[in-house]
C-alpha cells in the first residue's frame, strides 16, 4: 500500500459518518481535495499543514453527500481540487461525464479519452481517484459487467450502484 502526498498548503479535514462507513473529507484553498474511505488502498499522508476543522467547502460537501445518500442528489456542484498527473486528471474529468445510474467499462473510458489501448492505465488512474463518489469511479465496471476493483471495497461499489439504480438490489431469495 502506497501513500499519496497532496500538494503543500493548508488543508482542513474532518471525518463524517456515511452509509458506507466513515469518510475523511479534506479541502484546501482551491476546493475539495479528498474523500477517503476508512481503509483506503492509497491513504493520504497528513502533515503539519493539515488541521482538523470545518470550512465552507467541507460544509457543502457534507450536505451534498448527505443528499446523495438520501437519494435526493444526482450531481455534485462543489469546487474540486484533485491533484494528480495530467493523465490522471483527464481520467478523473471523464468520470464526471458518466451519468447517474449508468456504468461505463474501462475500455469505454479509454476510448472516450482517445487512448483505446490505455484500459489498464485508466484503471490505475481510477484507483488513485482522490474524490470517489463525487468523481464516480464506482460507475466504471469490467467489460463483462462485473464489479471490479474499488478503493472503498466491492460491497461499497455495489451499494453505490444500487443506490443509483445502475444495479438491481441483491437478494438472498433463491427465487428472487
pLDDT at 2: 36
Mean pLDDT score of the chain: 90
CA–CA dist 109, 82 (Å, integer): 19
Inside any domain, residue 27? yes
Closest by CA position to 65, among listed 78, 82, 52: 78
120 shares its domain with 145: yes
Inside any domain, residue 95? yes
Given phi > 0 = left and psi -120 to 50 = alpha, else beta, which region is 4?
beta
> Whole-prediction pTM value?
0.88
100 shares its domain with 63: no
Task: Outline where DSSP puts E strands in 21-153.
Answer: 23-28, 31-37, 50-52, 104-105, 140-141
Residue carrying C-alpha cell 502533515 = 47
47 shares its domain with 93: no
Query: What's the domain range around 159?
Result: 86-164
Instruction: Output the domain CATH number for residue 138.
Output: 1.10.10.10
pLDDT value at 5 more than 50:
no
pLDDT value at 79 more than 80:
yes
The yes-or-no answer on residue 137 being catalytic is yes
Of these residues, 109, 137, 161, 163, which one is catalytic?
137
91 shares its domain with 159: yes
97 shares its domain with 125: yes
102 shares its domain with 148: yes
58 shares its domain with 98: no
pLDDT value at 67 more than 80:
yes
Inside any domain, residue 3? no
Inside any domain, residue 121? yes
Instruction: Output the domain CATH number for residue 24.
Output: 3.30.160
Please count the structural domains in the chain.
Answer: 2
Over residues 143-171, the pLDDT tens digits come to 899 998 888 999 999 999 999 999 888 76
128 shares its domain with 93: yes
Amino acid at each position: 500500500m502506497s501513500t499519496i502526498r497532496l500538494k503543500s498548503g493548508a488543508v482542513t479535514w474532518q471525518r463524517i459518518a456515511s452509509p458506507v462507513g466513515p469518510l475523511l473529507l479534506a479541502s484546501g484553498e482551491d476546493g475539495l481535495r479528498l474523500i477517503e474511505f476508512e481503509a483506503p488502498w492509497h491513504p493520504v499522508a497528513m502533515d503539519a499543514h493539515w488541521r482538523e476543522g470545518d470550512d465552507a467547502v467541507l460544509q457543502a460537501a457534507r450536505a451534498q453527500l448527505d443528499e446523495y445518500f438520501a437519494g435526493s442528489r444526482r450531481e455534485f456542484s462543489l469546487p474540486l481540487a484533485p491533484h494528480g498527473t495530467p493523465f490522471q486528471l483527464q481520467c478523473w474529468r471523464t468520470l464526471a461525464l458518466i451519468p447517474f445510474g449508468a456504468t461505463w467499462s474501462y475500455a469505454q473510458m479509454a476510448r472516450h479519452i482517445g487512448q483505446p489501448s490505455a484500459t489498464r492505465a485508466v484503471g490505475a488512474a481510477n484507483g488513485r481517484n482522490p474524490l470517489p463518489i463525487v468523481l464516480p469511479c464506482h460507475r466504471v465496471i469490467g467489460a463483462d459487467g462485473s464489479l471490479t476493483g474499488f478503493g472503498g471495497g466491492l460491497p461499497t461499489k455495489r451499494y453505490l450502484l444500487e443506490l443509483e439504480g445502475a444495479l438491481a438490489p441483491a437478494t438472498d431469495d433463491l427465487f428472487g
